[in-house]
Amino acid sequence: MGETRFLTNREIYEQAVLKLVSSAKKRLWIATADIKDMYVEKPGLSKQMVPFLQILAELLERGVAIRLIHAKEPGPAFRQDFDRFPGLWTGIERVLCPRVHFKCIIADGKRAYFGSANLTGAGMGAKGDTRRNFENGILTDDPAYVEPLSEQFDSVWRGEHCRKCGRRDYCTDCPLQ
């Protein structure tokens, strides 16, 4: 049995976004319903705010494989940030699935966050205490949680639910098409 912690609000940003994401050595899986241009403190350079996408680009440069599942197209500010990091264009694997509502970050298949927060500034990001959403989640390295969470992510990634999905007309990334 591993360590499991309940997180709220700013703890999600500090523990899941700053620490868990940067701890990935081989692979990072992220699922979110909503995704926006989120800014974070650059690890090691406290108070310097950078796009979260820059952190992902740096992970790719270190050889970390990144998969992202999200439910809808991000807005123009996210796309502008995305375009600033050419390594993301071919390096990040991405699937859009309109049925995804679960939110998680899984690092190396060994440690994970799952909870209510979307990958947005108000959800997981560095917004101030008076502007952020009230969120909660679990951070764990307990295989009893990490393994089924990884399987849920992977089953959506593989398109396991696509054949019988009632939303295929809205899905731009269905692997069956």
Question: Is there a domain that residue 33 lies in?
Answer: yes
Q: Kindly indicate the confidence band of residue 129, based on its pLDDT and cuts at 50, 70 and 90.
A: confident
Determine the pLDDT at residue 127. 82
Model pTM? 0.93
As a whole number of angstroms, the longest Cα–Cα distance in the chain is 47
**Enclosing domain of residue 97:** 4-170
State the chain's mean pLDDT as an integer.
92
Q: Kindly indicate the confidence band of residue 142, based on its pLDDT and cuts at 50, 70 and 90.
A: very high
In degrees, rounded to 5, the angle at the alpha carbon of residue 138 between the alpha carbons of residues 136 and 140 is: 160
Identify any residues that bridge with 103 across adjacent strands, giving them in sequence order: 115
Mean pLDDT of 114-119: 96
Question: Is there a domain that residue 159 lies in?
Answer: yes
Do the beta carbons of residue 169 and residue 99 sit within 8 Å? Answer: no
Task: For residue 135, give the CATH number of its domain.
Answer: 3.30.870.10
Q: Kindly indicate the confidence band of residue 66, based on its pLDDT and cuts at 50, 70 and 90.
A: very high
Burial of 79 (0-12, 13-18, 19+ CB in 10 A): exposed
Question: Is there a domain that residue 177 lies in?
Answer: no
Domain count, the chain: 1
Residue 73's CB: how many other CB atoms inside 10 A? 11
